[in-house]
Structure 1
Amino acid sequence: MKKSYVEQENKALNTSKRVVILTSFLILILLVSQSFSASNIHQSYQESLMDSVTDRILSDYQEYFTQLRLEIDLFQQKQLNAIEQLEQKAEQASQQNYMQVLTSLRSDIENTRLFALIDQNGQGSLKHITGNFLPDCESEIATTIADGMQKKLFLHRSKSSIHFDLLQPLATNSGEGAFFFVAFNPDILINLLKKYQLPHQQLFLMRADTPGEVELTTETNNNNKYGELISLGELKSFNFVKQIPNTRWQLAIRLSPQYSSNLYRQGLIKAVLIWLLLSLFIYGFFRQQKHSLQKQLQVEKALAYVDNYDQLTGLANRVNFDRQLSEHIEVNRLLAHNSINANTIVSNKVGVVMHIDLDKFQVINNSVSYALGDKFLHQISMSLKEFLPDNAIISRLGNDEFAVLLPDLLFSEAKAFAHKIRLLIQKIRIAEYHQDTNITASIGVIILDHSIFDAQQVYSSLGQAVSLAKEKGRNRVQVYQSDDEQLVLHAKEMEAVHDVAEALKENRLLLYRQEIKSLSQENSSHYEVLVRMKNSKGMLVPPNHFIPAAEKYGSIRQIDQWVIENTFKMLALSPEDNTRYSINLSGVTIADRDIYDQVVSLFEQYRIPAKRICFEITETSAISHLDSALHFIHKMKIFGCQFSLDDFGSGLSSFSYLQKLPVDIIKIDGAFVQDMDTNPINRIFVENIKRTAEAMNKKTIAEFVENAVIEKMLTEIGIDYGQGYHIHKPELWFEARE
């Protein structure tokens, strides 16, 4: 063990060293890669924003132009008389009248430069005041006159200024086909570019019809160079270009030339610095790694030992032994599954388990000392280790109990080998213990043949064998696979428990039903649900072959749950039917405090009316779990179900407990009914039960109605319902289909 852990420690430390060095280089590579990746992500992010930026600028530009046109139309309505006078006077209009209108226009609409009136021929009627139009303006006016609307916008520049024009239809009565011409400063267009400019970006408003001609830009060193032509090579450096609808403009964006190079340089510097810091940290970490790893391995070693071994004897503990036993059983099961003949398994090395229980060992602890008892246990453990083969698995199960798994011991040798162990223990002496009485042991032996299906079955069977050995006088060996009646019965019970588990897993349970007939004039339909099981060969197994074992070893609860759910499934198929069904519940089931919530959940899932269900509980189970039974009955009766007390009269205190159980129906034990036609005492007993039930306002059901004479006698007595083969033989009601 020590050598193994030393090798494990050295291997772990060498592995850690290699991992640390490799990790350091991987971190450097990852950091450099991450810096480049981050730079690319930043750049991609900037480019992903460009579409959003241009969309916002375009939206604001369109909104701005729409707003200007609306304001021009409103202004015309407001100054309609003044504009009509200017139109009528035309070349005779005075500059004073023009300036009055222009002043109002500039007051109402920001960035207005001037206005003009354009006739149907495209000529300005106020040229003596406004002067001649620029050639670009004349071109735009001509296309607007020709199209009937202004389709394209672009900036017009003179030697000293830059503006754009909007032409709206003239609102005067005589102005059909004429336009109201307004020139605006482009300040807002410039401000919108600056508003949406993001860090590291440059925005350009360029001519679409003259490639490379910049109209406006946010580039600080070019703000006074509008109209500059950009070379075709520079045009390729733009990261994003988008056309502005209804204009001769396009928006273009490019990242600052230094942006990418700065990102890469800064990322690389940061990656190297981080790597250096991490390398220093890893170096310090590795210096402590050896000490901490050794300490951790020691702790794990101690914990593993505590988890798997008994501290006093050093033998495997119950958990460790259980795991190895289960693995061995699983191997046997797989071999059996691979078509190994069951008759040859017994003669092969399938393994043997022994349960060693020291006889009256507590006497030593109580009469002498626990310290001396511990010495005995330690000596027994050492003797077993020396005597047993190397592949034997030895475990201390409890204070004075040991278990041994012998994988290679043959069936024919098992009993003799167990006797050798018994004699070995009997010869053990402790110097401090001066009494002549020897330590003896009762040993149970079980062969791990094809009938063994799990570790719990092994423990249960060995417990039976040891108990029988002690009953026979102690200091003896008892093989479980023997002809002893108790062990044969236990084996059959364990086989039945296994069959039930497999039947539940493989859906081999069936539901039968038997009618409960009304013996009065009342016409009601009532059945009792009965459970049956098919074995692996498809043959029916009577309930008395598996129900008692299921009740004894706890698997009856799964059967009850299966019966309840599948009964509800069947009832859900005929929701219009009002037939009532009685379902038997075991004492284990009604003792479970969660059963109420589970049953109510099934009622809700299958939408079954509570009045269609009557739960049957036996008198014995109700009395054995009285508090739980009362809790469940009260809650389910509030929910709407009925209850019947089954096998009434077979208990010792039936009438006294009947007052405590709020059942609706009493089922008279069939032992008093089946021969009441020939046994007058039983008839009197049935009559007394009827009178008692009637006084307590409860209905009665007589079981085992086997002939017409008994049915007639029950009717005369006034029993409410009868059940038995004379009335109705159980019939198949539900069978799972694949």
Structure 2
Amino acid sequence: MATDKAIESKFGYLKKELKNAKTQLTFSIIVLFIVSMWYSHNTIKVHKDYQSSLMSSVSQQVVNEYQNHIAHRRQQIDRFQWRHQTELLDLYRQGALTEREDYLFLLKELRNEISGVRLFSIFDKQGVGVFRKITGDFLDDCQQEIDSTINNNGQEAMFLHKDSSSVHYDILQSLIGAQDLLYLFVAFEPTALKSILERYRLPQQELFLLRNDRHVEIELKESSNSTFSNVVMSEAEFSNFSSLVKIPKTRWSVGVRLSDNYANELFWSNYQWSFIVWAVVSLVLFLSYISQKKKSVGQMTALKQLEFSKSHDTLTGLMTRDVFSQYFNNKRSSISENQGVAFVIDIDKFQVFNNSLGFTKGDSVLRMLAEEIRKVIPIGAKISRISNDQFAVLDSNMNHTKAQDYAHFLKSHIENLDLSNIEESLSLTSCIGVVKINAEVVDSEHLMSSLLLTLKLAKNKGRNQVLLYQSDDPELVQHAQEMEIYHAIQRALNEDSFQLYRQEIRSNLSNCENSVYEVLLRMFDSMGNIVSPALFIPIAEQHSLAAELDKWVIARAFKNMAISKTKDHYCINLSGQTLADPSMVGYVKQKIEQFGVLPQQVTFEITETFAITHLESAIYFIGEITKYGCQFALDDFGSGLSSFSYLQKLPVQKLKIDGVFIKNITKNSRNQAFVSTMVTLAKSMEMETVAEFVETEEEFTMLKELNLDFCQGYFFHKPDRWIVNEMLELASNNHLQQ
């Protein structure tokens, strides 16, 4: 209790300290943000003020340039009139009778002397064009400007005239030498006007020629295309202009504003930079706060974890065995008669899972199992992890009559757990011992010894058992030998301590140039004695290690073939698990390429039973590897009940007749008939035949008479170790590493 109060006091102090630090952090970050934004705002304002002063100067220069340009055009027109006064007056007198050739000749002269001219005409004081027959009717805007010029005795409102296909501006000058008030009208391309805008535009600025009478309409823009089409701006866009200066005697104003890109870049570069500085400084302050927080909390966390670890398992969070025992001792006196049940749960062969899956996944299984048991036990029941894969449950309120049924429920729940997120196709079974708490169970020591004794008896019965304490179930043989062999297989794989043996398969043909061998796997115990394959192979298959053994054999056999540079043929046995492994096709091809083995020198043997039970996988595997050049033999043929019906589905090249039909074949006429039938069947399907377990010369003689292609057995060759030259192996290893 004193410890709890000390921890409470420490946490109160820590909470207050962290709250003050958090307040200071928040205040600092806010103030820093305001200062950085204020700095960015002022920087942008300085930039804009500077640009504004530049834009006022630029706009005035453009206005002056436009005035000079217009004045220059008028001077050019007047000089042209003096040079061509006679021709102009003659054209005027001809009026509507003017010949087109005469008009075009004078237009050509005008264009030669003044650039940008589109056309010209002469207007009388009523505003009627003399050459309408040639020039056609003018645009309404043109006529409006002509009328305004006549009424005002001078051109006072110049602007651009646009239609769907062209843009121009007009200059009207009094016709020199005319007795009446006449005007020479000249239409110009606006290219020169746009060039002025382009020439005076500064970086980060945009220049516009705007209509005074239509202040939201753009006449010209320095970066616009050649169509000079009208662009109407919104009031908001129009308000962005920093400078607007009217051009006298026109309907134009020169407008200057910052380009959108520059304005955006100016805005974002300043605010972005300020934000980055603010973020970095804030991050430093925050990390400082986090460091302070970790430092303050660290001691309390350690104290809390220390206190928790004294009473709870660090992996599952369940109470420890000592705490469980203490709880029972405290609770024992309040447990009513005929109530109170304790269970002990042991996961079957969990060490096998640990060794095969690894301790990380094993720990995940234990955590998940603990959580699932916690979910399904009755309210008020307590659960403890009492050893590596054992859990104890105590329900002080459960009636004795429900004890065994509830144990079966727990067993079934564990068996049906979905562990696919940890390992595919992983499932658990358990043995459960049950002890009813009665007068004889006086303390936790008695309870635990009773539970463990009951569990031992349950495990002796086999896997997935429930046993009630004091039942008369017999104790069965332990599985120590199986576990020992399983671990020996794993050690041999990890230490690369398996050995390869080989047995010759003798050809019955005299012209066979190269030998044929079957590759055999051997394992040795700690005393150096051979462990029978009939013992360790089934255990490997039971615990899903058969494919790993096959990979080891394939790699080592190919390596030996490469080292010895042999031309002999080798037969390698494959398990059903290998056939079902989709990665094995690629593995075999990779090893063939790695060691440079000729596929034609390799035959893979698959047993009839496994081929039938993994038919689709077998057909796929055989088909793919056969394409690569290897051959396949169906081993133990005749031992299954469906041999003939499945034989046509399996693309194998050899049949190895089960040895049960070969033994004593000289004395068993039925075996002779059976072997003869199988040979005939194989020949009809263009398959070679092999007889196993040939042990006498008489058997060999009869098998030759029955037309078998190969014989294998102790009569020819007892299996011996496949030894390769150590120096050649060392050289091969160095070559493969390079």
TM-score, normalised with respect to structure 1: 0.43
TM-score, normalised relative to structure 2: 0.43
